[in-house]
């Protein structure tokens, strides 16, 4: 009896009823069956095909008796002597699904990652306006000046910013590959006084307190802007002074400051100049308003102590801080002003950012969870809405074309989302019932602190297991994995699934001259869908046999690409027990380019290590003259299976088959 998988047959070979599928007697399977297995379904051979569950029943009253004589009922069986057909190359399709609520573009299989199914809608002063033509050309067009600006766009943005992003010093180890933005430790958003000191170089918002010529000279004098061109800095300064409400607000403050300095020096020299302060206000508008905000709705300028400052103040900027020991003031991460102050090239019109108690304004908003969360806001901003799929929204996206600056923007927003979650946990310890084990934690805290410092121990904040990455979360995941092993046994297969930046779904959706490392959100979306497809192939299509249990974890490489480590526990009849079983699952040899051309191209492009060793002593894997990955591997005429456990030594025959990789000939020992 030969037991064949249904995937070996064409769709026309089956007769479909309401609950089962039947294979025709004259059906012939494809050439994916092993040579020593029967390949024809004739009268003397019973063919059993895997497609249905045991609980499925056949309604024989609805079946034609003549038809039943020419078909074989499908059973829930499979044979080890039959291989699955070669799978087609995975392609999840174009990004052509359009959200009916916010016009964001999606791949098939993605749901509600843009506006929460119509709950979030950024309107009024938060709606992105048309990017100025001059800035759009710098970000999108080709040419020496444009390429220079695109390569240094993050430095140009920081040179034009009103505030600064400050994090702990972190020097990443030197390495090859694409450049990646790294944030380490505590992160702050800081803004300085409006007027620089007598001997200080103006920076950030102080540059809009002086004229364009002096501001450009000050930017050039700053060593961190050494790669920037003076003419570009001057043109960007003029552009922002014309259209950016924050630049106009600082220019207005400059006029008042100059009048006050003149009045103090000429009209009454005995009187010192009064303090000029600018109060940045929170968003107190009616949610129903759709008009763009006026300059005075962003901040209010006060002279001395006259008048009553607004009650809804986010932060204050002084001409010179009354406290000489304070040079910078912290901008709250919950302020709507953070994004336009930090990223003037992404929001040149001063479009507002997320703020606390920002309401849902979408057409499908509900009475439950009425406010926009930081995650919802970030997802809405990162969603793709360009390239003409919907004409009213076919605008150029400065965010998705900002290259290295986009990495900083994405990291900054991720940190804010995490900070918001941590703030909630810190302020809601009672609701999390942390007091039930707080006494134990206090005892452990005392044990960990030296005797002379125990008086300084504060109240510990308990991070629950629901917070991803917390100690309790990691411990819970570990215990779950160990429970699976205790129940089903040790894993049989260890699979690493790595993102490929050359996947067509990534390449086809990148703007011109933008690399995959500068679009981490696109890479993550494609990887997630590909990982789902792989897990469906493993758990539903049984490409490695029937799976009893599985565990996987997703990690991100320092170069920005995600990968997944997958552990599979197979059912007993599919567990690899001998070397031949291993050969059915994995090959460590260069495919024959004549019979397996597509597989050959994939292996040579993606699965060859090096060249390293004597062929390339400067390879990144070389340490003390030896490859860290132990390449080239020794040749093996047969797979050496270790029944007691451990990795097998795969078959690597010395058959002379070679592939040209980076101008070097490599053999099976480098696969």
- The DSSP bridge partners found for residue 116 are none
Q: How far apart are CA 517 and CA 258, in angstroms?
A: 47
Residue 444 located in a structural domain: no
Residue 48 domain boundaries: 2-73
Specify the higher pLDDT residue, 33 or 329. Answer: 329
Which is more confidently placed, 438 or 85? 438
Which of 247-251, 322-326, 376-380, 474-478 comes out lowest in average pLDDT? 322-326
Question: Regarding predicted confidence, which is higher, 69 or 505?
Answer: 505
pLDDT band, residue 492 (cuts 50/70/90): very high
Query: What is the rounded CA–CA span in Å between residue 464 and residue 468?
Result: 9
The reply to whether 216 and 323 lie within a common domain is: yes
646: left (phi over 0), alpha (psi -120 to 50) or beta: left
Sheet with 187-192, side-by-side order of all strands: 164-167, 187-192, 328-330
- Residue-wise pLDDT for 610-627, tens only, equals 888 888 888 888 888 889
Q: Please tell me whether residues 142 and 198 are part of one structural domain.
A: yes
418 and 284 assigned to the same domain: yes
3-state SS, residue 340: helix
Give the total residue count for the chain.
671
515 and 642 share one domain: no
* Half-sphere exposure of residue 359: CA atoms within 13 angstroms, side-chain side: 14
- The answer to pTM > 0.75 is yes
Handedness of CA 244, 247, 248, 249 (dihedral sign): positive
**Residue 404 vs residues 102, 154, 182, 230, 304: alpha-carbon distances, Å:** 26, 6, 11, 21, 42
Domain shared by 525 and 630, yes or no: no
Least confident of 72-86, 153-167, 497-511: 72-86
Q: Are 61 and 188 found together in one domain?
A: no
SS3 489: coil
Question: Does position 135 have pLDDT exceeding 60, yes or no?
Answer: yes
Give pLDDT, residue 4: 52
Q: Which of 250-254, 278-282, 492-496, 611-615 has the highest mean pLDDT?
A: 492-496
The answer to whether residue 19 scores a pLDDT higher than 50 is no
Sequence-distant (6+) residues with CB within 8 A of 215 are 202, 207, 208, 237
Work out the pLDDT band at 152, boundaries 50, 70, 90: very high
User: How many Å separate Cα 453 from the centre of its chain?
Assistant: 41
The residue among 367, 394, 422 that closes a domain is: 422
Closest CA to 631 of 618, 654, 614, 651: 614
**Domain for residue 118, yes or no?**
no
136 sits in which H/E element: helix 133-140
> Is position 461 within any domain?
no
156 and 239 inside one domain: yes
Both tokens of residue 330? 């912290």
Rounded distance, CA 503 to CA 518, Å? Answer: 15
Are 493 and 394 found together in one domain?
A: no
Task: Tally the domains of the chain.
Answer: 4
User: Does residue 72 carry a pLDDT above 50?
Assistant: no
Cβ-proximal residues to 555 (8 Å cutoff; 6+ apart), any chain: 562, 563, 564, 565
């Amino acid at each position: 009896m030969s037991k064949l998988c249904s995937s070996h047959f064409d769709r026309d070979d089956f007769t479909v009823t309401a609950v089962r599928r039947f294979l025709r007697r004259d059906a012939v399977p494809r050439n994916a069956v092993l040579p020593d297995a029967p390949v024809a379904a004739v009268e003397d051979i019973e063919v059993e095909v895997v497609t249905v569950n045991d609980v499925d029943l056949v309604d024989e009253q609805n079946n034609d008796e003549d038809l039943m004589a020419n078909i074989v009922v499908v059973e829930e069986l499979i044979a080890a002597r039959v291989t699955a057909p070669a799978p087609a190359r995975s392609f999840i399709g174009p990004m052509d699904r359009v959200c009916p609520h916010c016009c964001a573009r999606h791949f098939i299989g993605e749901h509600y990652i843009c506006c929460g199914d119509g709950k979030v809608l950024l309107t009024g002063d938060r709606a992105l306006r048309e990017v100025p033509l001059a800035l759009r050309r710098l970000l999108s067009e080709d040419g020496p000046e444009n390429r220079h600006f695109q390569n240094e766009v993050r430095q140009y943005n920081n040179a034009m910013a009103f505030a600064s992003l400050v994090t702990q010093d972190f020097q990443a180890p030197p390495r090859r590959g694409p450049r990646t933005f790294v944030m380490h430790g505590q992160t702050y958003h800081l803004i300085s006084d409006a007027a620089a000191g007598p001997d200080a170089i103006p920076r950030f918002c102080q540059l809009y307190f002086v004229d364009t010529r002096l501001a450009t000279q000050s930017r050039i004098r700053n060593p961190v802007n050494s790669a920037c061109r003076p003419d570009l800095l001057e043109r960007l300064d003029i552009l922002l002074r014309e259209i950016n409400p924050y630049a106009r607000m600082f220019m207005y403050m400059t006029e008042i400051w100059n009048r006050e300095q003149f009045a103090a020096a000429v009209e009454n020299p005995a009187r010192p100049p009064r303090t000029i302060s600018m109060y940045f206000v929170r968003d107190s508008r009616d949610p129903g308003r759709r008009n763009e905000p006026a300059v005075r709705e962003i901040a209010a300028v006060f002279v001395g102590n006259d008048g009553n400052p607004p009650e809804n103040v986010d932060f204050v900027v002084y001409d010179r801080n009354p406290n000489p020991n304070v040079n910078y003031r912290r901008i709250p991460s919950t302020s709507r002003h953070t994004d336009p102050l930090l990223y003037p090239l992404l929001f040149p019109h001063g479009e507002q950012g997320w703020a606390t108690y920002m309401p849902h304004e979408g057409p499908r908003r509900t009475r439950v969870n009425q406010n926009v969360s930081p995650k919802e806001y970030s997802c809405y901003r990162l969603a793709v809405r360009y390239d003409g799929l919907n004409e009213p929204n076919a605008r150029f996206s400065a965010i998705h074309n900002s290259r290295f600056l986009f990495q900083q923007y994405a990291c900054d927003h991720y940190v804010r989302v995490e900070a918001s979650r941590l703030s909630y946990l810190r302020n809601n310890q009672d609701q999390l019932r942390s007091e039930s084990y707080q006494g134990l934690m206090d005892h452990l805290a005392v044990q960990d602190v030296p005797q002379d410092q125990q008086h300084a121990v504060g109240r510990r904040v308990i991070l629950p297991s629901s917070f991803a990455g917390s100690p309790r979360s990691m411990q819970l995941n570990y215990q779950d994995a160990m429970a699976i092993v205790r129940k089903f046994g040790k894993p049989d297969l260890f699979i690493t699934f790595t993102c490929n930046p050359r996947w067509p779904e990534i390449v086809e959706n990148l703007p011109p001259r933008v690399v995959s490392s500068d679009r981490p959100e696109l890479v993550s979306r494609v990887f997630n869908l590909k990982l789902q497809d792989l897990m469906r192939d493993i758990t539903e299509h049984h490409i490695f046999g029937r799976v009893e249990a599985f565990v996987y974890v997703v990690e991100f490489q320092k170069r920005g690409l995600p990968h997944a480590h997958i552990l599979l526990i197979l059912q007993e009849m599919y567990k690899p027990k001998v070397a031949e079983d291993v050969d059915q699952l994995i090959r460590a040899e260069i495919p024959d380019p004549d019979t397996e051309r597509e597989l050959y191209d994939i292996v040579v492009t993606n699965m060859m290590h090096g060249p390293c060793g004597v062929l390339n002593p400067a390879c990144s894997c070389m340490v003390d003259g030896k490859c860290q990955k132990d390449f080239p591997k020794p040749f093996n005429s047969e797979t050496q299976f270790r029944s007691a456990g451990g990795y097998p030594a795969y078959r690597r025959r010395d058959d002379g088959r070679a592939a040209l990789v980076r101008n070097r000939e490599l053999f099976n020992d480098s696969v």
